[in-house]
Structure 1
Amino acid sequence: MAAPGNAEQTQLQDMEEDEAGVEEREMESDEEEGMGVENSDDEEDESSEDEKENEAEIQRLEEQLSINAFDYNCHVDLIKLLKHEGELFRLRKARQKMSELFPLTEEIWLDWLKDEIRLTEEDANREKVYELFERAVKDYICPEIWLEYAQYSIGGMGSPGGIDKVRSIFERAVTAVGLHMTKGQTLWEAYREFENALLSTLQPPPGRIPSHEEQELLNNQLERIHTLFRRQLAVPLMEMETTYAEYEEWSENGVPETVVHQYKKALQQMQKCKSYEEALLVAEPPKLAEYQAYIEFELKEGDPPRIQITFERALAENCLVPDMWTKYTTYLDRQLKIKDLVLSTHERAVRNCPWTMSLWKSYLLALERHGSDHHTVSDVFEKALNAGFIQATDYVEIWQAYLDYLRRRVDFSKESSKELEELRAAFSRSLDYMKQDVEERFGESGDPSCVIMQIWARIEARHCKNMQKARELWDSIMTKGNAKYANMWLEYYNLERAYGDTAHCRKALHRAVQCSSDYPEHACEVLLTFERVEGTLEDWDTAVQKTETRLNRVNEQRAKVEAHVRQEEERVEQRRKAKADKKSQKKVQKGRAGEKRKAGRDDDQDEWNKDSAPKRQRAGGDNSATDEFMETETELLGRNAPPGYKPGGGTKKPQQEAGLPPRNQNDEKPELRDDTSSVFISNLAYTMEEPEAKLKALFETCGPIKQIRPVFSNKGSFKGYCYLQFESLVSVSEALKLDRREVEGRPMFVSPCVDKSKNPDFKVFKYNTSLEKHKIFISGLPFSITKEQLEEMCKNHGSVREVRLVTYRSGKPKGLAYVEFADEAQASQAVLKLDGMDVEGCKISVAISNPPRRSMMDKPGSSRPAADMMSRQVYGARGKGRTQLSLLPRSLHRQTAPVGKVENGTAAERATASTAPNAAGESRSLSNADFAKMLLNK
């Protein structure tokens, strides 16, 4: 034990050390405070600068949305910035505005709901959150949102009717997503946990016997939990074996036999679906192919609830795929036919893919099918007009769908009604809309055949018995460039035949014979048949005379066209022969010059033996013959014969020994033959240096290469294509996978080495010639723009997959480009935002890619009607130059000139006066303006 004195001394030392430590800590804290003042000032400056930058960015995004409210990415960026800045009022407003225009994703909804839940503490404001949840569950079927909704409702169970409200939400949740194979189990378990919590409140304390009423409540609650277990075990879910084991442990009397039977049946169904679920787990988003296979499986099984939940799961990840929505809505329309479900799904479809006309059209039909009021149908139609369709023809179809709906509302037994007046007003408005809005936007009429006007004329004739209005409408149709088509006149004739009189039928047929330029023979035949049935002898003579005159004139015109075509073909053949003769003469001259050079060589060169001689002389025989052969085969002077070459009739040519196509002596192009071990490589850059080495490095990964032969011109420049032979046939399939690989800025084409004249199936255009909704076509670009600049300009409107600048063969840009986006929605948005934009002083035009179909019928010598050949073949294969004048007779030009548009409903004769002779066979005199139009049109 220490002495008292020592103890006091030790205590004093401890106190002194404590005081010293306190002083030292105070000094350190003072220093830290001084430094903290400086640091806080710097942090405040930085934070203020960040706030200013963020506020400027917020204002920029708000301004951009005021210009284009349908910029989805701009909405997302604005919400993120406002949340970061803590602008709660503006954040709520931004989310509200976005939800009115677009269906929100699961992540955006959960973020919004959690923010509102944190801000809502009073019970009076809980109803607003409930309303927000109701909006959220309508956009997509999401288990997480339903689970959050049910858990939030548990917080209000203390209010009157709170428990019933929680149960109601849980029941709706398990009905909506309880069949979800992977996420449904979580919702079922949450429901059972809630009921178990209620069960614990009904359990009597230990030792006390419950009353009759308490026992009844307890039994009812136990039965609810039993029912939940049974319902869940009847549903095929992943890990349902765990639920069954839990039920066995929980149930005091064991699992009933009926439950075991239902469980085994559900387990078998789960095993069938397990492979599809596993495929979804390992697949990369958006998993479209996997979902389509899953849907096809469920459709074969035929269980409507499971089909519905599978569609909903697929659409949650592929909400911008119109075909998926179309397939889902079609199934609901034809199979389930539940009004609320069908109409809500149609509404979600057009909100997700508003640019797809077919979805709006099926929505209008569904509304009519389920008896929706007229005001609702009209509102949906007006929204469809403002949706921004991709093609002009889409507007024609949506108008037709709406006009059909209005026509079905009319009671034509009444002479006049409100519905009939509304139908006529809608027809008139549709014509104005197609002329003003559609033609201004697309630069073309979406209804060149005037289908809407034809329908209107038929309705007036058939249902309203108003032939005068029908004739006015059909006269207007003919003035819009349709008078040259025989089928349009015959449609009018059939209308008059059914609802008009004989005089107007005869007049229509006479005008058809006079004006039609595509199939006048058919119009003549119908006229003669009509007069056989209806006409007098005088009518018959008139018809015969008119048809003979018309057909003779047509035959004369066709003969002239055919003569011009033959002359042009002869000229082409003569030029080809002259070119071949000139080429052969040059080869002979070069061969003679080579012989002279060989004759002047030193005698020492003749004494070289085979071991010391160059390769071109080691083959034996006359060297001049070798050189001449190589000149005709490769068209390159100085090219040595390959090893093993032996001239003679029975010896293979070097290209044949290598398995490559031989050269044709009279043509620049190679004479192809089938070779399964070779490939043909084309569309290469003409400026490529050392093509053989570069292609070898590119294709040697496919397999051992036997030989590469690039093709050069007489001047020694690379012609952009070559032949490549592998040692093994297996390498060819690997080489074909490199087709369209970009090499020095151009897509390289790799195709089988096949004689296309003997295998016409290989004559296919390399690029797609159908409508490509995910790709846009840009014209009017400045020639100086680069691929990187164009990609930077387009990536603000979506995910850009590929950018291709169109160039001439020389590599000079054409001012055209194709840009491929990830999906159709992004391409549509890009068209809306980029069309008409000014790029380096050039106004560009943007449209959905729809390449023209290249037809072999346009080539000289092809078989096509003579009337169709006049526009191109009369001037040869290349067409007529802009500055050249036509040498055809003037009357022939008037037959083929396009009919101009006539404003204000002018008669059809005015539109066709310059394109066809009159009834007397005379042509009217042409003004200076007519001559100018003829020259400009050519």
Structure 2
Amino acid sequence: MAASEQTQLQDMEEEDAGMEEREMESDEEEGMGVENSDHDEDDSSEDEKENEAEIQRLEEQLSINAFDYNCHVDLIKLLKQEGELFRLRKARQKMSELFPLTEEIWLDWLKDEIRVTDEESNREKVYELFERAVKDYICPDIWLEYAQYSIGGMGSPGGIDKVRSIFERAVTAVGLHMTKGQTVWEAYREYENAILSTVQPPPGRIPSREEQELLKAQLERIHTLFRRQLAVPLMDIEATYAEYKEWSEHGVPDTVTQQYKKAVQQMEKCKPFEEALMVAEPPKLAEYQAYLDFEVKEGDPARIQITFERTLAENCLVPDMWAKYTTYLDRQLKIKDLVLSTHERAVRNCPWTMGLWKSYLLALERHGADHQTVSDVFEKALNAGFIQATDYVEIWQAYLDYLRRRVDFSKESSKELEELRGAFARSLDYMKQDVEERFGESGDPSCTIMQIWARIEALHCKNMQKARELWDNIMTKGNAKYANMWLEYCNLERSYGDPIHCRKALHRAVQCTSDYPEHVSEVLLTFERVEGSLEDWDVAVQKTETRLNRLNEQRAKAAEKEANMARQEEERAEQRRKTKADKKAQKKVQKGTQAGEKRKAEQDDYQDEWNEDSAPKRQRGNGDHISEEYMETETGLFGKNAPPGYKAAPAVSKRTALQRQEDDKPELRNDNSSVFISNLGYTLEEPEAKLRLLFETCGPIKQIRLVSSNKGTFKGYGYVQFESPVSVQEALKLDRREVEGRPMFVSPCVDKNKNPDFKVFKYNTSMEKHKIFISGLPFSCTKEQLEEICKGYGTIKDVRLVTYRSGKPKGLAYVEFADETEASQAVLKMDGLDVQGNNISVAISNPPRRNAMDKPGSSRPGSEMMHRQVYGSRGRGRTQLSLLPRSLHKQAAVSKVENGTTAAGTPVTDSAAVTAAGEPKTLSNSDFARMLLNK
């Protein structure tokens, strides 16, 4: 530690100690007790211990994963809070080596270093820190701080020139910044005005010739700064022009006025974009993109560059924006230092993006970087942590291409050639050991790298033996069944090998190919027509016929097996339908029997009461036979025992009911001009009117047919028939439209009897690299809120919240981005993010394939038995509500009866009477009625 830093820290500590003593004395004078002071000291020591423990935890976490960005930020904040200057400096240094620091972190760091640096010898360290800061991002505030700090050293030799040099670099870097560039220009002019005051002679004294020259040169500098600033479109440029008019003794030159007017015109063009940026919420990507499109169309390279820099300052984690910027610099400006520094900044901000590393390698080669630099950048790329196995294949290919271009193949052997072969061998080992272990796949199933190596050996090195070894290795990795791989190998043999090896390869291809054996057979026969003898032709014909006959037999057996399986499946389906119909018929019979018994019991009860109160008196006839007079009514609920005045409804024959159903049945729908709507609420008021209002925007409606129950209530689905089939496509766009709190389903009208495989909702079951899957969302999260969260990571194409059929959210969502890199960035940055108190999980969308066991109606082995054992023979009820009266529940809860009371001490009533053996007695219908009424 420097002596000045130690002295300043000691002074700060002594000052703090003095302040604490004065505060304690003041507290004592005000009458505060010692106990309260001790309590504050205890709290302070406890906070210090907690902060120190948290600091140690963060440092330990960074020792495990040094690329935890948020952990670095938290550690820096905590160390700054504790005033740990040297540990804070070390933490900032480590973070800056791995990541570019934000403007806020850089300014805090610079201000801290400036405060502890008094001696002139230590100013160079601060200058070095400023140089690192201005390379991360183009920030006007950092440049302004840099220039102001340099003014403090203008008294040293060459200090004035150093300040001017820094100001010149500042106006070059950020002078075109329309909203913040003006502050840098004004600071530069203020500095030159301060210099002017030092060279002006005192009043009353005639300046010497040398002093006059200095004064004239200084005035010209200020004039030049005014002219340069007025040529740049900046906010409040009118105030600068007015200031120049007032400052200039001879007025404003016409050339300056013309430049000023052009700048004002340019400012007016840019003003709408600047105003849009002012009102937009960060990160303002869409607004910046519109601004960039405008500037690119205008064609001013300096303005395009500053607009890119402003965009990336707020969107530094958007790989596509870095790719656009570096591409523009590569193709338009082509300035080596600017191009390479921008590529370096791009990969530091988005190290997970393979495309940026690949472009960086090409730029290094394009601008003649030395071989060691290119190799070092490639090694960093391998350690960047790509998210796909294929990314490693592509970065290896880019590096191998670079090494191949360095080789002089006119020489039989060279250092570059050996390095190329060594890199090929290392790449294969890397794919096998590192990539496969991490991703579970090679990333290069077609062995592209080995194919390129084989071609280089055959074409440039004339080493067909090595090429054949490589192709043998390719075929052993599961590629022997593909015709295109064999044909690629055969083309290599025909180009650089000999007919003998080519013939052998084609014979092996005929035996091994399983995807296009006919095509390979035709290639072999064509080859023998051109190259072979009669004997070769006969052998080729025999082999191809044998192979194709065997394949045809296998295909026939496979087709027969498939037909048998389909037939068995149809038989099983028919058996299931028959069993289901039998069970349904049996349930109807059982239900009818139970209903008959219930009616009989009701008739008996009613008969007893009616006979006692209002039945006609019995009259004795001959032989003491009792003849009863009953009212005869039509067959009804009570049969012949109907009460007086009761008249049953006339019976409806089965034929009449069927005829009524046939009359009510809607006409067959026109599938080409109709849509099926479902998942509507049963309680929807005036559904036809609401649906007509909703679908009229799609085209003229011919008819709306809603399906109702036997009671006339709406069942939540129906059909909408349009006059033209063109309207159907517009109607399908209303799918999932919310209607009174429920998502309405809209699907094409397809007769499933004719199209049994038709599925309305078909979602992709393969990996969607441009789409992410989010789980753990709070149920209150809306589509707009989720889109607002995700748009900071790229361009959003679609957001879909997963809901139940009722419309209630599941806490899941799919977000589709414009490309794969944006989706990858969102996964890295959003996984584990806190959303309204929930930690969400984010991954690339990769829906699992739906197995047969998971399909509706299927069950896993043992599941049916488990449900029967737990919930009874009919399984678990849908509502889980008990249909027994509460009195019976009370009775079932009685575990023991002793001396007429329950175990709980409650007397036994009639409704819960039990026999002496402990079993409940049989209850009559009257008992049940009393229990229901008494509860």
The whole-number CA distance in structure 2 between the counterparts of 1:711 and 1:848 is 44
Is the 8 Å Cα contact of residues 692 and 710 (structure 1) preserved in structure 2? no
| Paired position in structure 2 for 1:127 | 124
Question: Within the alignment, does 1:61 sit opposite 2:58 as a pair?
Answer: yes
Q: Residues 58 and 800 (structure 1 numbering): CA distance in 2 closer, same or farther, change over 3 Å?
A: farther
Question: Which among 72, 75, 82 is matched to residue 72 of structure 2?
Answer: 75
Question: Within the alignment, does 1:601 sit opposite 2:642 as a pair?
Answer: no
The whole-number CA distance in structure 2 between the counterparts of 1:604 and 1:186 is 103
| Paired position in structure 2 for 1:11 | none
How much has 1:704 moved relative to structure 2?
9.2
Is the 8 Å Cα contact of residues 231 and 260 (structure 2) preserved in structure 1? yes
Question: Within the alignment, does 1:453 sit opposite 2:450 as a pair?
Answer: yes
Question: Within the alignment, does 1:340 sit opposite 2:344 as a pair?
Answer: no
The whole-number CA distance in structure 2 between the counterparts of 1:58 and 1:345 is 34
Is the 8 Å Cα contact of residues 280 and 290 (structure 1) preserved in structure 2? yes
Is the 8 Å Cα contact of residues 355 and 828 (structure 1) preserved in structure 2? no
Q: Residues 470 and 824 (structure 1 numbering): CA distance in 2 closer, same or farther, change over 3 Å?
A: closer
Is the 8 Å Cα contact of residues 82 and 91 (structure 1) preserved in structure 2? yes
| Paired position in structure 2 for 1:380 | 377
| Paired position in structure 1 for 2:827 | 827
1:530-561: CA deviations, max 9, x gaps?
Answer: 00000000000110111111111112222222
Q: Residues 432 and 626 (structure 1 numbering): CA distance in 2 closer, same or farther, change over 3 Å?
A: farther
SS at match of 2:235: coil
1:396-436: CA deviations, max 9, x gaps?
Answer: 11111111111111111111111111111111111111000
Question: Within the alignment, does 1:147 sit opposite 2:144 as a pair?
Answer: yes
With the length of structure 1 as denominator, give the TM-score of the two structures. Answer: 0.70
| Paired position in structure 1 for 2:41 | 44
How much has 1:66 moved relative to structure 2?
0.3
| Paired position in structure 2 for 1:301 | 298
Question: Which among 249, 256, 271 is matched to residue 246 of structure 2?
Answer: 249
| Paired position in structure 1 for 2:511 | 514
Question: Within the alignment, does 1:287 sit opposite 2:322 as a pair?
Answer: no
Is the 8 Å Cα contact of residues 774 and 825 (structure 1) preserved in structure 2? no
- Equivalences for residues 680-829 of structure 1 within 5 A: 680-681=678-679, 692=682, 736=734, 750-755=744-749, 765-766=762-763, 771-772=768-769, 775=772, 824-825=824-825, 827-828=827-828
| Paired position in structure 2 for 1:498 | 495
How much has 1:260 moved relative to structure 2?
1.6
| Paired position in structure 2 for 1:443 | 440
1:602-646: CA deviations, max 9, x gaps?
Answer: 5999x9xxxx999xx9xx9968578658xxxxxxxxxxxxxxxx7
Is the 8 Å Cα contact of residues 787 and 803 (structure 1) preserved in structure 2? no
Is the 8 Å Cα contact of residues 774 and 826 (structure 1) preserved in structure 2? no
1:118-160: CA deviations, max 9, x gaps?
Answer: 1111111111111000000000111111111111111111111
SS at match of 2:746: strand
Q: Residues 602 and 756 (structure 1 numbering): CA distance in 2 closer, same or farther, change over 3 Å?
A: closer
The whole-number CA distance in structure 2 between the counterparts of 1:373 and 1:39 is 69
The whole-number CA distance in structure 1 between the counterparts of 2:97 and 2:221 is 40
How much has 1:581 moved relative to structure 2?
6.9
Is the 8 Å Cα contact of residues 674 and 753 (structure 1) preserved in structure 2? no
Is the 8 Å Cα contact of residues 681 and 724 (structure 1) preserved in structure 2? no
Is the 8 Å Cα contact of residues 775 and 827 (structure 1) preserved in structure 2? yes
Is the 8 Å Cα contact of residues 774 and 843 (structure 2) preserved in structure 1? yes
Is the 8 Å Cα contact of residues 824 and 844 (structure 2) preserved in structure 1? no
1:747-769: CA deviations, max 9, x gaps?
Answer: x8654343367999996645796
SS at match of 2:524: helix
1:870-922: CA deviations, max 9, x gaps?
Answer: xx9xxx99999999xxxxxxxxxxxxxxxxxxxxxxxxxxxxxxxxxxxxxxx
The whole-number CA distance in structure 2 between the counterparts of 1:530 and 1:342 is 52
How much has 1:473 moved relative to structure 2?
0.8
Is the 8 Å Cα contact of residues 513 and 524 (structure 1) preserved in structure 2? yes
Q: Residues 754 and 819 (structure 1 numbering): CA distance in 2 closer, same or farther, change over 3 Å?
A: closer
The whole-number CA distance in structure 2 between the counterparts of 1:440 and 1:201 is 71
How much has 1:521 moved relative to structure 2?
0.9
How much has 1:807 moved relative to structure 2?
12
Q: Residues 830 and 192 (structure 1 numbering): CA distance in 2 closer, same or farther, change over 3 Å?
A: closer
1:828-870: CA deviations, max 9, x gaps?
Answer: 378899xxxxxxxxxxxx9942426989xx99xxxxxxxxxxx
| Paired position in structure 1 for 2:133 | 136
1:482-503: CA deviations, max 9, x gaps?
Answer: 1111111111111110111110
Question: Within the alignment, does 1:218 sit opposite 2:215 as a pair?
Answer: yes
1:366-413: CA deviations, max 9, x gaps?
Answer: 100100000000000000001110011111111111111111111111
SS at match of 1:509: helix
Q: Residues 602 and 680 (structure 1 numbering): CA distance in 2 closer, same or farther, change over 3 Å?
A: closer
Q: Residues 447 and 133 (structure 1 numbering): CA distance in 2 closer, same or farther, change over 3 Å?
A: same
Is the 8 Å Cα contact of residues 357 and 394 (structure 1) preserved in structure 2? yes
Question: Which among 851, 855, 872 is matched to residue 846 of structure 2?
Answer: 851
Q: Residues 303 and 804 (structure 1 numbering): CA distance in 2 closer, same or farther, change over 3 Å?
A: closer
The whole-number CA distance in structure 2 between the counterparts of 1:276 and 1:144 is 22
**Gaps spanning 5+ residues in structure 1: where?**
1-27, 630-645, 663-670, 683-690, 779-785, 792-798, 834-845, 860-871, 884-938
1:254-282: CA deviations, max 9, x gaps?
Answer: 22221122112121111111111111111
Question: Within the alignment, does 1:103 sit opposite 2:104 as a pair?
Answer: no
CA RMSD, aligned part only?
Answer: 5.1
Higher RCO (C-alpha 8 Å, min separation 6): 1
The whole-number CA distance in structure 2 between the counterparts of 1:401 and 1:360 is 9
The whole-number CA distance in structure 1 between the counterparts of 2:492 and 2:499 is 11
How much has 1:673 moved relative to structure 2?
7.7
With the length of structure 2 as denominator, give the TM-score of the two structures. Answer: 0.70
| Paired position in structure 2 for 1:485 | 482
Q: Residues 344 and 693 (structure 1 numbering): CA distance in 2 closer, same or farther, change over 3 Å?
A: farther
| Paired position in structure 2 for 1:156 | 153
How much has 1:458 moved relative to structure 2?
0.7
Letter in 1 for 2:88: L
Q: Residues 170 and 471 (structure 1 numbering): CA distance in 2 closer, same or farther, change over 3 Å?
A: same
| Paired position in structure 2 for 1:263 | 260
The whole-number CA distance in structure 2 between the counterparts of 1:762 and 1:298 is 49
Letter in 1 for 2:297: K
Is the 8 Å Cα contact of residues 137 and 146 (structure 1) preserved in structure 2? yes
| Paired position in structure 1 for 2:270 | 273
Question: Which among 323, 327, 332 is matched to residue 330 of structure 1?
Answer: 327
Q: Residues 533 and 488 (structure 1 numbering): CA distance in 2 closer, same or farther, change over 3 Å?
A: same
The whole-number CA distance in structure 1 between the counterparts of 2:182 and 2:647 is 86
Question: Within the alignment, does 1:188 sit opposite 2:223 as a pair?
Answer: no
SS at match of 1:147: helix
SS at match of 2:368: coil
Question: Within the alignment, does 1:395 sit opposite 2:395 as a pair?
Answer: no
Letter in 1 for 2:846: P
Q: Residues 388 and 568 (structure 1 numbering): CA distance in 2 closer, same or farther, change over 3 Å?
A: same
The whole-number CA distance in structure 1 between the counterparts of 2:453 and 2:679 is 56
Is the 8 Å Cα contact of residues 141 and 316 (structure 1) preserved in structure 2? yes
How much has 1:739 moved relative to structure 2?
6.0
| Paired position in structure 2 for 1:687 | none
Identify the range of structure 1 (228-237 vs 341-350) with the bigger mean alpha-carbon deviation. 228-237
Identify the range of structure 1 (113-122 vs 582-591) with the bigger mean alpha-carbon deviation. 582-591
Paired-residue identity, %: 69
Letter in 1 for 2:123: R
Identify the range of structure 1 (430-439 vs 822-831) with the bigger mean alpha-carbon deviation. 822-831
| Paired position in structure 1 for 2:625 | none
The whole-number CA distance in structure 1 between the counterparts of 2:762 and 2:78 is 49
The whole-number CA distance in structure 1 between the counterparts of 2:686 and 2:45 is 60
How much has 1:816 moved relative to structure 2?
12
Q: Residues 513 and 348 (structure 1 numbering): CA distance in 2 closer, same or farther, change over 3 Å?
A: same
Is the 8 Å Cα contact of residues 675 and 753 (structure 1) preserved in structure 2? no
How much has 1:251 moved relative to structure 2?
1.8
How much has 1:113 moved relative to structure 2?
0.6
| Paired position in structure 2 for 1:178 | 175
